[in-house]
Amino acid sequence: MCGIVAYSGSRNALPVLLGGLKKLEYRGYDSSGIALNDNGQITIRKRQGKVSELISMLDSDSTLEQATCGIAHTRWATHGPPTTENAHPHAGGKGDLALVHNGIIENHRSLREKLTAAGYVFCSETDTEVLAHLVDLHHKGKLIDAVISALREVEGTFGIAAMSRHEPGVLVVARRGSPIVLGLGREETIIASDASAIIKHTRQAIYLDDNDIALIQGNDVEIQALDAGPVSRPTSQIDWSSNAAKKGGYEHYMLKEIFEQPEAIRNTLRGRLDRNRGNALLSGLNLSPRELSELHRVLIVGCGTSMNAGLVGEYAIEDFAGVLAEVEQAAEFRYRNPIVKPSDLVVAISQSGETADTLAAVREAIDKGALVSGLVNTVGSTIARETGRGVYLHAGPEISVASTKAFTCQVSVLLMMALKFARSRRMSRDAGCRFVEEIEAIPSLVEQVLEQNDNIAKVAERYVEQSSAFFIGRGYLYPVALEGALKLKEISYIHAEGYHAAELKHGPIALLDENVPVIALCNEGPGKDKTLGNVAECQARKSRVLGIVTQGDQEAIAALDDHIVVPASPPHTSVIPSTVALQLLSYHIARLKGCSIGQPRNLAKSVTVE
């Protein structure tokens, strides 16, 4: 993986491809490259490093300015280190075709042995070059037939774009487990792994399903399934503009998206709260009150930030609805043969809607007969389509690799789900109305935290030189500790661990000293006194403690070395302003360290491989 762009049309392909690669830089990558088909001659240029280095290399190459068909790629290393040789595109055979690929070819070793025996010479360590040569091996006539034959031998996941010098203007694209979107323009088609690369040119898009293969020439698009012949896929309207994916004057996308959170949360809540009846209107769940009342268990699956949000949902659903709720690491779900019943609702959380592990969990849950719902941000994503029910976040595009507004919007939706489930059981109308008011107040709570940005930046100055940190919390604030630690390590490269505050005495406290600060969630609410006891234990080991405290709580402030204030709110909604405070803290520490906040090393935005 990481990013694919391809073009077939009537204009110069090069600027379209390079512009698309620039739009995909946020996903994280280590090399980039392009291949152009100009009147039966394929030219490949690629380079380790940033897209800007590839562009500099191409500036002096005027021979590429006439091609009207091409493919391009940004690579995040899986098989083989980040080198120019391992960068995409890869040529097949003697250069008769070129191919780019996201995903993992799991049987690449046996295929490599077969191809080596057939006389193919490999120039890279990648599984992608194996696929390029395999297509060449089958290339006796039409390129699409060769791709189909090759993919029938492949085990694993792929999103690919390929072209042959014998068919100028023709692209063949396919997907299984790795997204491909076709942007439909006037006399042209722009293909990408992410809609952000095509939105400048068109908002009309077709999202390929797994095992779809498309033959594209200009604006002619023919789609067939690998084993089922021609198929028709609906055209979708991309519901955000190219301006939404710009920095808007902020230094980094992450800071912009942190400050977008009040509006993003309002968009998530808009039209979904019924003040009169004290209920949530989540029609996308497609569950009647009777079906809701008969749910035995809610099983939440996700990875990383999405799993942390799921933990908040677990607490809220059990507290308010009295429904058994559990959170599962999506990567383990299908491999441990989980017990899933038809009376269970499985909620799959994924910002992109393409996370490979979460998608695999969805399919396992469907196979076991459960009700399955998606909670995603990306309209038309695979999880959204395969679940057929769920809730879109409507948070707008999230460009920063480190997730911010997706998390707070996920938590907002999970609180609404808890409300809806609760109202189908024992929660009264009056209690529901109070819950609605608490949820509606969340954007204002976030705005109050954002007003402290400058103060939080000053606090961050005292933690820049640290190489390790602990985050602790209890109850609803335990997932906040996990998410806070994740943000700090993602963008500042400081080793950070999130713990339940009670776990400190069960091993981690051995690591505390003056060089290991502790960030403690000390908000007013159940467990605060015990957390302050943990703070004293940390300080007794000479650790400096920074606390998140409720406004006006002088007791907590006096017990801490540093503090960040958040507005008073109930425990279940205090999660969001507290998380935003830690997002700003992590951002400013990373900024002061001079880290690459927009593109953290080794990370990819959408993890489409297991």
Q: If we measure between CA atoms, which residue out of 207, 237, 241 comes closest to residue 221? A: 207
Q: Is the pLDDT of residue 610 over 60?
A: no
Burial of 40 (0-12, 13-18, 19+ CB in 10 A): exposed
Considering the domain architecture, whether residues 260 and 176 belong to the same structural domain is answered as no
pLDDT of residue 582: 98
Q: In total, how many domains does the chain have?
A: 3
Q: How large is the average pLDDT for residues 109-130?
A: 93
Whole-number Å distance between alpha carbons of 392 and 473: 29
Return the C-alpha torsion angle 329, 331, 336, 339, nearest 10: 50
Considering the domain architecture, whether residues 496 and 576 belong to the same structural domain is answered as yes
Q: Each residue of 422-475: pLDDT tens digit?
A: 999 999 999 999 999 999 999 999 999 999 999 999 999 999 999 999 999 999
227 — pLDDT class (breaks 50, 70, 90): confident
Q: Output the pTM of the full model.
A: 0.76
Tell whether 603 is covered by a domain: no
Tell whether 497 is covered by a domain: yes
What is the extent of the structural domain holding 126?
Answer: 2-238
Type of residue numbered 25: E
Considering the domain architecture, whether residues 493 and 431 belong to the same structural domain is answered as no
Tell whether 55 is covered by a domain: yes
Considering the domain architecture, whether residues 230 and 256 belong to the same structural domain is answered as no
- Do 484 and 586 meet the contact criterion of CB atoms below 8 Å apart? yes
Phi, psi of 98 (to 5 degrees): -135, 150
Q: At what angle do helices 405-423 and 261-269 cross, to 10 degrees?
A: 30
Considering the domain architecture, whether residues 139 and 198 belong to the same structural domain is answered as yes
Considering the domain architecture, whether residues 59 and 15 belong to the same structural domain is answered as yes
Q: How large is the average pLDDT for residues 88-97?
A: 91
Q: How large is the average pLDDT for residues 165-189?
A: 92
Q: Each residue of 304-336: pLDDT tens digit?
A: 999 999 999 999 999 999 999 999 999 998 888
> Backbone dihedral region of 432: left (phi > 0), alpha (psi from -120 to 50 degrees) or beta?
alpha
Q: Each residue of 476-518: pLDDT tens digit?
A: 999 999 999 999 999 999 999 999 999 988 988 888 999 999 9
Tell whether 606 is covered by a domain: no
Q: Of 50, 256, 489, 605, which one is the catalytic site residue? A: 605
Q: How large is the average pLDDT for residues 335-357?
A: 90
Strands (E), 153-277: 158-164, 170-176, 181-185, 188-192, 204-207, 212-217, 220-225, 229-230, 235-237, 273-274
Considering the domain architecture, whether residues 436 and 460 belong to the same structural domain is answered as no
Q: Is the pLDDT of residue 547 over 70?
A: yes
149 — pLDDT class (breaks 50, 70, 90): very high
pLDDT of residue 245: 60
pLDDT of residue 240: 64
Considering the domain architecture, whether residues 422 and 350 belong to the same structural domain is answered as yes
Cis peptide before 89 (omega within 30 of 0): yes
Q: Of 2, 69, 409, 538, which one is the catalytic site residue? A: 2
The DSSP-derived string for 105-126 is BTTHHHHHHHHHHTT----SS-
Q: How large is the average pLDDT for residues 159-182?
A: 92
Q: How large is the average pLDDT for residues 405-427?
A: 96
Tell whether 602 is covered by a domain: no
Tell whether 10 is covered by a domain: yes
Type of residue numbered 420: K
Considering the domain architecture, whether residues 483 and 420 belong to the same structural domain is answered as no
Residue with the larger pLDDT of the pair 548 and 394: 548
Tell whether 605 is covered by a domain: no
Residue with the larger pLDDT of the pair 237 and 570: 570
Q: How large is the average pLDDT for residues 94-121?
A: 92
Last residue of a domain, one of 212, 238, 264: 238
> Backbone dihedral region of 387: left (phi > 0), alpha (psi from -120 to 50 degrees) or beta?
alpha
> Is residue 603 helix, strand or coil?
coil
Q: What share of the chain is helix, strand, coil (3-state, %, to 5)?
A: 40, 25, 35
Q: How large is the average pLDDT for residues 367-377?
A: 92
pLDDT of residue 603: 66
Average predicted confidence (pLDDT) for the chain: 91
Burial of 439 (0-12, 13-18, 19+ CB in 10 A): buried
Considering the domain architecture, whether residues 346 and 322 belong to the same structural domain is answered as yes
Q: How large is the average pLDDT for residues 567-586?
A: 97
Percent of the chain with pLDDT over 90: 67
Residue with the larger pLDDT of the pair 558 and 50: 558
Q: Is the pLDDT of residue 564 over 80?
A: yes
Last residue of a domain, one of 389, 408, 440: 440
Q: How large is the average pLDDT for residues 155-160?
A: 89
Considering the domain architecture, whether residues 477 and 461 belong to the same structural domain is answered as yes
pLDDT of residue 60: 66
Percent of the chain with pLDDT over 70: 96
pLDDT of residue 267: 92
Last residue of a domain, one of 208, 238, 268: 238
Considering the domain architecture, whether residues 227 and 115 belong to the same structural domain is answered as yes
CATH code at 37?
Answer: 3.60.20.10
CATH code at 354?
Answer: 3.40.50.10490
pLDDT of residue 337: 84
Paired tokens of 458? 């000053």
Tell whether 604 is covered by a domain: no
**Catalytic-residue membership of 303:** no
**Catalytic-residue membership of 2:** yes
